[in-house]
Chains A and B, each alone.
Chain A
Amino acid sequence: KAGVTQTPRYLIKTRGQQVTLSCSPISGHRSVSWYQQTPGQGLQFLFEYFSETQRNKGNFPGRFSGRQFSNSRSEMNVSTLELGDSALYLCASSFLAGGRSTDTQYFGPGTRLTVL
């Protein structure tokens, strides 16, 4: 079974630009979560989508947004990029079987975003 895939793997942008990152979850997984990882702050939660609906959102400005499609694939968008947005952006998917409240989140390889 293929794992979580993320594209692109590397991106270089300049301040003020916008960027879109893509995530394809493990086949059959319906929940997709996004995290930002930086050396100073570690892994921080951005948002979670399930059945095309955002159910949880972390403490990030409105420049960070996302969406999920009917096939569970997800995208996140960052507008008006700032230097501090340079980070590894990780996507994680989980199955969320009916009736279970806990399900393991499996991570993709990440997209390394550099803002110049």
Chain B
Amino acid sequence: EDQVTQSPEALRLQEGESSSLNCSYTVSGLRGLFWYRQDPGKGPEFLFTLYSAGEEKEKERLKATLTKKESFLHITAPKPEDSATYLCAVQSRGSGNTPLVFGKGTRLSVIA
């Protein structure tokens, strides 16, 4: 059974204080690993897709990396508007659009 574990559950940072969020996963054949951002009362907003170990992607202050067992979301010099819940999900190989399996998320608060 595919599983995703995210840590920490919650993270409180001062503005400008860089940190990393962790996503550990087990999957029977990785098709893709996804990062989403979710604001309260809204649907998840797509950030990145990673397909194979060693891959990295960047967007503004965010950088996602992938190994065979985990992914990291690095946040450099965060701002208060980066406060949100960050969700990690894996998709396994199979026929059709196989479902995403999500972790419980990391709730990030950035204090000015």
Contact = CB atoms under 8 A, between A and B. Distances in A.
A-B complex is real: yes
Chain B contact-residue range equals 20 to 34
B45 A96 contact: no
A109 B42 contact: yes
B49 A104 contact: yes
Contacts of B41: 112
A109 B36 CA distance: 13
Given A48-B97, A50-B97, A94-B97, A104 B51 contact: no
Contacts of B95: 55
A102 B41 CA distance: 27
Contact of A104 (B46, B102, B104): B46
Given A43-B102, A102-B91, A107 B45 contact: yes
B87 interface: yes
B99 A101 contact: no
Interface string A56-67: 101000000000
Chain A contact-residue range equals 20 to 34
Contact of A102 (B31, B42, B105): B31
A45 B89 CA distance: 11
Given A103-B97, A104-B49, A42 B103 contact: yes
A26 B36 CA distance: 18
B96 A4 contact: no
Given A101-B93, A102-B49, A102-B51, A48 B43 contact: no
Interface string B26-40: 000001101010000
Nearest to B6: A42
Nearest to B97: A31
Contact of A33 (B32, B45, B87, B99): B99
Contact of A96 (B43, B51, B97): B97
Interface of A: 4, 31, 33, 35, 42-45, 48, 50, 55-56, 58, 90, 92, 94, 96, 101-110, 112
Interface of B: 31-32, 34, 36, 41-46, 49, 51, 87, 89, 91, 93, 95-105
